[in-house]
Chain A
């Protein structure tokens, strides 16, 4: 009888089994349904359809643009916020930071509904400006997700380097571009990862605020699924996976190069 000595690493097997069953296997099924037709034969027609149909390409383009716009807007607004929060010259207590993070603890669907009411009150709605409304809703939702990683990085930032740059004669603009931005690159990359692809794959905000006129890939996957079209939904899910992989690849390189954050 083979008696296995209990090692702590055996605990990993339980976790591994769970992951294989509920994380890996489902993804394999997605691949299966994306590339087979109803009869179970392998087919690439979904891939062909997706890349030759102007509607799906349009939706992809709009998703990428909205994702990018959201990311840029959140960064533009959130970067100064994080910088000021992390700089003891301007902000000493943790209270402000907590106040900024607090919206994340209020249910996001509720927040989206509140945004919809506010926007309607000032005259913007899914009827007349669906894309504007959706973008505003996205920024509201994702702003805290940008502020947090930026704040974390800026906290670790070495203020003495900034002072050194000033002493060496660099004006604020040069300091900012050549020193501060590279030093905070990991935070910026984190922020991009947390905002860009999630924006494209969400559908709740675009449904609620865009009046069913704004179609992101997330919406399309959801609609496909509601119509029991697993195959199409699965294929678009794979497109999402590809985009996630792509974002990772691109930002990995940036991190490598700019990681040291020095003047040269």
Chain B
């Protein structure tokens, strides 16, 4: 009994410590002050500051657009790649897998630096395209890693059966093979989104300086002046959004569980 209490308290203590910085910002996002520690009465001014700040709003929009675009491109390329790898000869499979693992194990700054040097070497001007390439390089190996297991679990014969029944290879691919690996594709897409939204280093090295994302604008603020209260409002909103998604997921999961239990 004592053990259980100790265990629970440890878990909650560490959790609290983990959230302490965020909670601090959340609390002080409801008062109009520059310095954390002074409470100037309840106010929504930081939220006004946030929505009135064109730069942060643009950065928010940019971040989302970039993540979605990178996510889609990465998912498509990753699906193509995973299918290709799965059906390749052992040598090709090993070679491509090895290359694909490099961004995963590599330090992000090496990936970022190498890409920037590549673009500079060929005198390519930094633009949204170079940034997109950077994000795809960062995320596509993870998409492949999400899809390969599904391919391994898949029933291999169905594709051949479809071909025998007269389907063209592309039709068979589209209607038969891909539906079986859809959970992997979806998981890969979400993973790519997450990685892209959170990224700083590759973004900083491959973007055109006029394209600002949340990561870069916050980094500038943190390093130079410290977070202004608009950023506290931003943190609170993001925190609430993530919490909301969590709760929704939890509800959906327990609903599914209840459904299954009812069936039996």
Give me the interface of A with B, judged by CB distance under 8 Å.
6-16, 18-20, 22-27, 29-30, 33, 77, 80-81, 84-85, 89-91, 94-96, 98-100, 102-118, 120-121, 140, 143-144, 193, 197-198, 200-204, 207-208, 218, 221-222, 225, 230, 233-234, 237, 240-241, 244, 248
Q: How many residues of B contact A (CB 8 A)?
A: 85
Query: Which parts of B132-158 form the interface with A (CB within 8 Å)?
Result: 133, 136-137, 140, 144
Q: Which residues of B contact A233 (CB under 8 A)?
A: 113
Q: Name the contact of A201 in the complex, choosing from B81, B108, B221, B223 (C-beta under 8 A).
A: B108
Given contacts A234-B113, A240-B107, A248-B105, contact A24 B99 (CB under 8 A): yes
Contact between chains at A11 and B81 (CB < 8 Å): yes
Query: Which parts of B93-125 form the interface with A (CB within 8 Å)?
Result: 95-96, 99-100, 102-103, 105-111, 113-118, 120-121
Query: Which parts of B179-228 form the interface with A (CB within 8 Å)?
Result: 194, 197-198, 200-201, 205, 214-215, 218-219, 221-223, 226-227
Contact between chains at B22 and A114 (CB < 8 Å): yes
Contact between chains at A110 and B235 (CB < 8 Å): yes
Contact between chains at B96 and A16 (CB < 8 Å): yes
Q: Name the contact of A19 in the complex, choosing from B99, B194, B218 (C-beta under 8 A).
A: B99
Contact between chains at B11 and A19 (CB < 8 Å): no
Q: Does B36 contact A (CB under 8 A)?
A: yes
Q: Does B57 contact A (CB under 8 A)?
A: no
Contact between chains at B11 and A81 (CB < 8 Å): yes
Instruction: Say what secondary structure dominates the interface of chain B.
Output: helix
Contact between chains at B21 and A111 (CB < 8 Å): yes
- The minimal Cβ–Cβ distance linking A243 to chain B, given in whole angstroms, is 8
Q: Compute how far the CA of A257 lies from the CA of B197 in the bound complex, rounded to whole angstroms.
A: 39
- The minimal Cβ–Cβ distance linking B22 to chain A, given in whole angstroms, is 5
Residue of A nearest to B20 (CB): A118
Contact between chains at A22 and B235 (CB < 8 Å): no
Q: Which residues of B contact A144 (CB under 8 A)?
A: 18
11 further A-B contacts with Cβ under 8 Å, apart from A108-B198, A117-B25, are: A8-B83, A90-B7, A96-B11, A99-B246, A102-B243, A107-B215, A109-B219, A113-B227, A121-B36, A207-B223, A221-B110
- The minimal Cβ–Cβ distance linking B72 to chain A, given in whole angstroms, is 15
8 contacts between A and B (CB under 8 A): A9-B88, A30-B117, A100-B15, A102-B246, A107-B214, A110-B235, A201-B109, A201-B110
In order of increasing CB-CB distance, the 9 nearest A-B pairs are: A12-B84, A15-B81, A26-B114, A201-B107, A11-B84, A114-B21, A113-B222, A9-B87, A8-B87
Q: Which residues of B contact A208 (CB under 8 A)?
A: 219, 222-223
